[in-house]
Amino acid sequence: MRIAFLGPPGAGKGTQAKLLASELRVPHLSTGDMLRAAVKERTPLGLQAESTMKAGKLVPDALVLDLLRQRLQQPDAAKGALLDGFPRNVAQAEALTTFLPLDRVIYFEIPVGELLPRLTERRSCPACGTIYNLRSHPPAKAGRCDRDGTELVHRPDDREEAVRTRLEVYNRETAPLLEYFRSKGLLSTVRATGSVEEVQAAVRAALGRRS
């Protein structure tokens, strides 16, 4: 199955993508995670992308497309993939049709007012990727991942100024994809408010899977 998750930053796509990808046994491909790994490893791509990401803007299409195309050549993607954070604009969506035509796009619908606190209070584990929220889903031990004890980080682009830019970029570049996928009959909308379990049930229902 080839699925993409679409929605504003902070809608919970990453958390749900991890759950669904393991259920479907397809890789969870987050272009944001892939780019952050490249930044951490100081690869040429990472060095090129770092300042753009920190500012909350989009990395050039050609770079992200190369990264994704290469990743999709690995054997674990033979049976499909769950894309999280890609495509981010119509040009990326058009390019994707040439190498990974999607079966379904799940749109995470959420009131704009919920996003800023979700992001500024978000903390993540750099080792396993688990995502926490200081208020709604805090770790058992402050500042440490429940799974592996790694010190949690506040992503530089989850600080307020970058978050505002990311939301603007989303509205301008990514939101037009809703109509794009709707017109192709690929779009399913889920309410992204509520508990992780509630949203997970909505995603499964959208894909015709029983809870």
- Active centre residues (catalytic): 13, 88, 122, 155, 166
Phi/psi class of residue 7: alpha, beta or left (left: φ > 0; alpha: ψ in -120 to 50)? left
- The answer to whether residue 45 forms part of the interface with ligand AMP (CB under 6 A) is no
Phi/psi class of residue 143: alpha, beta or left (left: φ > 0; alpha: ψ in -120 to 50)? left
- The answer to whether residue 86 forms part of the interface with ligand AMP (CB under 6 A) is yes
Instruction: Please name which of 112, 114, 87, 94 lies closest in space to residue 29, comparing C-alpha atoms.
Output: 87
Q: Which is nearer to ligand AMP, 6 or 202 (CB)?
A: 6
- The answer to whether residue 166 forms part of the interface with ligand AMP (CB under 6 A) is yes
Q: Which is nearer to ligand AMP, 48 or 201 (CB)?
A: 48
Nearest residue by C-beta to ligand AMP?
32
* φ, ψ for residue 184, nearest 5 deg: -95, 0
- The answer to whether residue 58 forms part of the interface with ligand AMP (CB under 6 A) is yes
E strand segments, the chain: 2-6, 28-30, 81-84, 104-109, 122-124, 131-133, 187-191
Whole-angstrom CA distances from 87 to 32, 46, 176 are: 11, 19, 11
Q: Which is nearer to ligand AMP, 21 or 58 (CB)?
A: 58
Residue ranges in 96-155 that form contacts with ligand AMP under rule CB under 6 A: none
Rounded to 5°, angle at Cα 33 from 135 and 37:
120
- The answer to whether residue 12 forms part of the interface with ligand AMP (CB under 6 A) is no
Among 4, 157, 163, 192, which residue interacts with ligand AMP (rule: CB under 6 A)? 157
Applying CB under 6 A, the residues found at the interface with ligand AMP are 9, 31-32, 35, 52-53, 56-59, 64, 85-86, 88, 92, 157, 166
